[in-house]
Amino acid sequence: MGTVESGSAAVSGVRIEPTADVDERAALGPGTTVWHLAQVREDAVIGADCVIGRGAYVGPGVRIGDRVKLQNHALVYEPAVLEDGVFVGPAAVLTNDRYPRSVDVDGRLKRGEDWQADGVTLRRGCSIGGRAVLVAGVTVGRWALVAAGAVVHRDVPDFALVAGVPARRIKWVGRAGEPLEPDGRDGPDGWRCPRTGERYREADGVLTPLDE
CATH assignment of the domain containing 63? 2.160.10.10
Closest of 138, 124, 18 to residue 77, by C-alpha: 138
pLDDT band at 186 (very low <50, low <70, confident <90, very high): low
Is the model's pLDDT at 209 over the cut of 70? Answer: yes
41-45 long-range contacts (CB < 8 A, ≥24 apart) are: 41/78
What is the per-residue pLDDT across 157-175, written as a single tens digit (0 to 9) for each?
A: 999 999 999 999 999 999 9
* 124 and 139 housed in the same domain: yes
Q: How far is Cα 96 from Cα 80, in angstroms, rounded to an integer? A: 8
Sign of the C-alpha dihedral computed for residues 98, 112, 63 and 131 taken in this order: positive
Instruction: Give the range among 151-155, 180-184, 195-199 with minimum mean pLDDT.
Output: 180-184
Closest of 25, 45, 33 to residue 72, by C-alpha: 33
* 41 and 131 housed in the same domain: yes
Average confidence (pLDDT) over 142-151: 98
Q: How far is Cα 207 from Cα 135, in angstroms, rounded to an integer? A: 24
pLDDT band at 102 (very low <50, low <70, confident <90, very high): very high
pLDDT band at 7 (very low <50, low <70, confident <90, very high): very low
Is the model's pLDDT at 8 over the cut of 60? Answer: no
Q: What average pLDDT does the structure give for the chain?
A: 92
Determine the 3-state secondary structure of 88 from DSSP: strand
* 168 and 185 housed in the same domain: no
* 132 and 27 housed in the same domain: yes
Peptide bond into 166 cis (omega under 30): yes
Q: Residue 42: CA atoms inside 13 Å, Cβ hemisphere, count?
A: 0
pTM: 0.92
- Percent of the chain scoring above 90 in pLDDT: 84
More confident position, 187 or 179: 179
> Which residue range is the domain that position 116 belongs to?
4-175
Average confidence (pLDDT) over 44-73: 98
* 181 and 170 housed in the same domain: no
> How does 61-78 read in b/e, with b if 16+ C-beta sit within 10 Å?
bbbbbbbbbbbbbbbbbb
**Paired residues of 15 in beta bridges:** 5, 33
Number of domains in the chain: 2
